[in-house]
């Protein structure tokens, strides 16, 4: 209970018991020259009375909610508070209160968002992990939406690197969505933080996610978009970032991959093309003013995959048949039928060789029935 300060309580009280819209609070806050006391005593709120309704029939009761927050270690930040993300205050409609779990949010000054599709390719996954790891090494906190795909891998990599990460939710903080990312939710709760503007118990409604995306981009110095379809949430985040005057970075992908079209569109519209993290650091230097430890060794993406050398050694150990199959494969997926035609092996022999190469981690079944070199 003590963790919630009076101003936050007052705001929650207004919202919960008087059904004041969050945007209304912000409007009046702006009119009152960003003075929170004057805002909360404003006349406008006096004649409202309907209690706030969440979801279908869940009516929010103020006292219950405060007790619930205390019991579940949910903390609250208000817009006038010291730890409220600085950059988020600048956006058009910042949320007046934020709920959070974990404590990294109080320590993080330099936030960068990584967003992307839920259905990422192997390439997208590698890029997300690479960028996230590199940024974490120099002390940048990764902000993302805790969704599957790119978000998942970026946040996971940041935590693995002992960096910090903030997951912005599109539902109440007590709801794990998507449920399959429970492991990430728990890791973020312990080693990072979870943040949302939605009241506890809010279900993950479709309409919540664009609002969440504005927070992702709003609190970050910039947004890195890794693989986004032409109509995707990640692209919306990118567009929010442009409107909010944040840096937008996009990773180029294959022109055959529809999940890269959004990134390419962003690049065409002026987003910065990212090949390594220097491309990112150049643009955000205005924010961090040498605060960030720059003595790290920048690895190029190619160096990062030192496995390449390992692969060369492995390839030398292959027997003749394995070598033929390995040479037959490339970076584009090739079906078993094509491999049989090109190598003239029998199917049963080919399947053995494929297994052997898979175990050696030289090739991989990219799509079903189609293989690529790793």
Nearest to 85 by CA among 102, 107, 64, 56: 107
Q: Which of 32, 42, 276, 352 binds another protein (CB under 8 A)?
A: 352
Contact predicate 206/181, CB 8 Å: no
Q: Does 175 bind another protein (CB under 8 A)?
A: no
For another protein, the closer of residues 28 and 131 by Cβ is 131
**CB nearer another protein, residue 59 or residue 205:** 205
Token readout for 348 is 């049963």
| Residue 354 DSSP one-character state | H
| Between 9 and 366, CB nearer to another protein | 366
Q: What is the dihedral of CA 324, 333, 340, 337, to 10 degrees?
A: 180
CB of 85 to another protein, least distance (A): 29
In the complex, the smallest distance separating the C-beta of residue 144 from another protein, rounded to whole angstroms, is 16
- 298: part of which helix (H) or strand (E)? none
* Token pair 């690895």 in the structure block, residue: 299
Q: Least CB distance from residue 101 to another protein, whole Å?
A: 23
Cα 84 to Cα 101, 168, 195, 303: the distances in Å are 14, 14, 11, 38
Please list every residue from 150 through 169 that binds another protein, using CB under 8 A. Answer: 152
Of the pair 272, 360, the CB lying nearest another protein is at 360
Query: Per CB under 8 A, which region of 59-67, 80-88, 232-240, 334-342 contacts another protein?
Result: 334-342
| 336 lines the binding site for another protein (CB under 8 A) | yes
- Residue 332 touching another protein (CB under 8 A): no
Cis peptide leading into residue 178 (ω within 30°): yes
291 binds another protein (CB under 8 A): no
The SS3 call for residue 84 is: coil
179 is a contact residue toward another protein (CB under 8 A): yes
Residue ranges in 91-120 that form contacts with another protein under rule CB under 8 A: 118-120
Q: Rule CB under 8 A: is residue 19 a binding residue for another protein?
A: no
Residue (294 or 332) nearer to another protein, CB = 332
Please identify which residue in 166, 354, 362, 363 interacts with another protein, judged by CB under 8 A.
354
Q: Does 231 bind another protein (CB under 8 A)?
A: no
Single out the residue of 287, 107, 108, 85 nearest to residue 196, CA to CA: 85
DSSP string for residues in 299-347: PPHHHH-THHHHHHHHHHT--HHHHHHHHH--SS-EEHHHHHHHH---H
Residue with tokens 């009152």: 32
Write down the least CB distance from residue 153 to another protein, Å.
Answer: 9
Rule CB under 8 A: choose which of 13, 265, 356, 372 binds another protein.
356
Among residues 71 and 367, whose Cβ is nearest to another protein? 367
Closest by alpha carbon to 278, among 303, 252, 296, 254? 296
Site for another protein in 122-141 (CB under 8 A): 122, 124-125
Rounded to the nearest 10 degrees, what angle do helices 6-18 and 62-71 cross at? Answer: 130
Residues near another protein (CB under 8 A) are 118-122, 124-125, 148-149, 152, 178-180, 258, 333, 335-338, 340-341, 347-348, 351-356, 358-359, 365, 367-370
């Amino acid at each position: 209970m003590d963790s919630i300060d009076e101003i936050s309580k007052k705001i929650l009280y207004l919202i919960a018991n008087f059904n004041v819209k969050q945007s209304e609070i912000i409007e009046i806050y702006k009119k009152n020259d960003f003075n929170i006391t004057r805002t909360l005593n404003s006349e406008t709120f006096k004649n409202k009375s309907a209690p706030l309704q969440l979801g279908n029939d869940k009516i929010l009761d103020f006292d219950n909610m405060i007790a619930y927050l205390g019991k579940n270690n949910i903390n609250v930040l208000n817009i006038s508070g010291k730890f409220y993300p600085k950059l988020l205050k600048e956006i058009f409609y910042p949320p007046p209160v934020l709920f959070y779990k974990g404590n990294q949010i109080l320590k993080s000054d330099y936030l960068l968002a990584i967003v992307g599709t839920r259905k990422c390719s192997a390439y997208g996954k590698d890029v997300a992990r690479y960028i996230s790891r590199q940024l974490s090494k120099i002390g940048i906190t990764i902000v993302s939406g805790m969704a599957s795909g790119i978000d998942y891998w970026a946040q996971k990599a940041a935590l693995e690197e002992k960096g910090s990460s903030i997951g912005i939710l599109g539902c109440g903080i007590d709801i794990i969505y998507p449920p399959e990312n429970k492991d990430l939710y728990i890791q973020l709760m312990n080693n990072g933080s979870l943040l949302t503007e939605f009241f506890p118990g809010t279900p993950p409604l479709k309409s919540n996610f664009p609002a969440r995306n504005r927070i992702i981009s709003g609190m970050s110095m910039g947004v890195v978009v890794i693989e986004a379809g032409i109509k995707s949430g990640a692209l919306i985040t990118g567009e929010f970032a442009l409107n909010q005057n944040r840096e937008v970075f996009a990773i180029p992908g294959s022109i055959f991959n529809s999940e890269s079209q959004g990134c390419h569109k962003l690049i065409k519209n002026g987003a910065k093309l990212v090949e390594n993290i220097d491309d990112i650091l150049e643009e955000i230097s205005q924010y961090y003013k040498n605060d960030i430890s720059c003595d790290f060794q920048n690895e190029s993406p190619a160096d990062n995959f030192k496995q390449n050398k390992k692969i060369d050694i492995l390839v030398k150990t292959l027997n003749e048949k394995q070598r033929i199959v390995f040479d037959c494969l490339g970076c584009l997926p090739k079906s078993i039928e094509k491999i049989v035609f090109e190598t003239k092996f029998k199917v049963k022999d080919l399947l053995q060789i494929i297994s052997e190469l898979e175990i050696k981690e030289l090739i991989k079944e990219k799509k079903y029935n189609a293989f690529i070199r790793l």
